[in-house]
Amino acid sequence: MVTVIPLVGVLIQQLAPYVREEYATFKDVNKHAETLSSNLTAIHAVLKDAEEKQITSHTVKDWLQKLTDAAHILDDILDECSIVSEANRDNITILHPEMPFVRRSIGKKMKKVAKRIHEIAEERVNFGLQSGIVEHRLEDDEWRQTTSVITEPEIIGRDEDREKVVEFLLKHACDR
């Protein structure tokens, strides 16, 4: 599964200052943007733990998938807002008769995704996700440990074969 942490981080960054400046004229967008920003920040705090737990928990994996889907929808809405704002800056559509409908449509979409992300944010409580904490399993750490000490390998029941192989290798090494 593709990690959702960077996507949520980008959305938080886009929502905070950019929305207040660019989209304040859109219907209810500023209010929904503040709610979204708050919920995304709360979700972002537990994402590392959630991504670690998704390996063993299908419900957490499902929750992350819902979050990813909602984040992509929000990203699409922000792209749409950006396109409309750019057109306004270029004075292409400022007097266009459909502009109020476009703004209202974006406001409705923002309200819908804000509600969806709020529900996802509330669901995170059910999974016992910890803010900024990732549990490390002992077996993960053991296989990654390195040392400069060379240990003798344990070979059980193959002593005779091992000695023949070592003798063969040493004999050919000395002959050269």
Q: How does pLDDT run across 5-44, given as a tens digit for each residue?
A: 777 777 777 666 555 555 555 556 667 777 778 888 888 8
Contact present, 41 and 35 (Cβ < 8 Å) = no
What is the reported pLDDT for 1?
47
From the CB of residue 38, how many other CB atoms can be counted at a distance below 10 Å? 16
R_g of the chain computed on alpha carbons:
28
The H or E element spanning position 47 is: helix 29-53
Residue 41 tokens read as 């920040």
Q: Mind listing the pLDDT tens digit for each residue in 48-92? A: 888 888 888 888 889 889 989 998 898 888 888 777 777 666 665
The alpha carbon torsion through 82, 86, 88, 90 (nearest 10 deg) reads 180
Query: For the chain, give me the number of helices (H) and strands (E)?
Result: 7, 0
Distances (CA, A) of 74 to 15, 20, 32, 107: 10, 16, 11, 12
What is the reported pLDDT for 27?
54
Q: Mind listing the pLDDT tens digit for each residue in 88-116? A: 666 655 555 566 677 778 778 888 888 99
Supply angle C-alpha 22, 25, 26, rounded to 5: 95
The model's pTM is: 0.62
Spatial separation of the C-alpha atoms in residues 18 and 81, rounded to whole Å? 11
| Domain chopping of the chain, boundaries | 5-136
136 phi and psi angles, rounded to 5 deg: -105, 125
